[in-house]
Amino acid sequence: MSDKEKIYYDRGTEELKLKNIRAHKLVQKFNNSDIEDFTKKEEIIEELFGSVGVNPSIEHNFHCDLGYNIHVGDHFYAGYNCTILDMAEVRVGHNCMIGPNVGIYTAGHSIEPKDRNKSGYGIPIKIGNDVWIGGSCVILAGVTIGNNSIVAAGSVVTKDVPSNTIVAGNPAKILKSI
């Protein structure tokens, strides 16, 4: 991973605090909204995310860092307890399903202990069209998941997933082509 792909940030700056507060207020509003008020929930997601296709559906207890770095296509679905750490862009294609308890993490920190807690970096994540991510998966910074692929439940994706494949495990490895 080259340094050009990393987006560096300093933790605790006033600017970052304000961005987090904006996102956290909208997330709180979303998570506390009436479960039957689909229109209101969709309006909040459209305000929170950078871009949203038609018919997004996200279950409660959703969390994110900034929100505006998240871009989802048409018919996006995320199950309960989805967390997207979007210090860099997360782009998700059309017709994607994300199971419960999934973490999508663009954020990282230095391996050197000195000042590790003072700064960090984000590396974009791309998820193609018609992707299914099973429950309790973790998608790490810099990963691209190709179209039509499946990430089996409980997997930790540390490297790119080619289109039309099923991956599983920790770290996730290709099981078969679709």
Asked if 162 contacts 146 with a C-beta cutoff of 8 angstroms, the reply is: yes
pLDDT per position as a tens digit, 131-148:
999 999 999 999 999 999
> Known catalytic residue: 109?
yes
User: Among the listed ranges 9-18, 54-63, 71-80, 133-142, which one has the minimum average pLDDT value?
Assistant: 9-18
- Give pTM, 2 decimals: 0.95
Average pLDDT over residues 12-30: 96
Mean pLDDT value of segment 12-21: 95
Span 91-133, pLDDT tens digits: 999 999 999 999 999 999 888 888 888 889 999 999 999 999 9
Instruction: Return the CATH superfamily for domain 3-177.
Output: Hexapeptide repeat proteins (2.160.10.10)
Which among 24, 63, 75, 109 is annotated as catalytic?
Answer: 109
Residue ranges of the domains in the chain? 3-177
Q: What is the model's pLDDT at position 29? A: 98
Q: Of all residues in the chain, what percent carry a pLDDT higher than 90?
A: 89
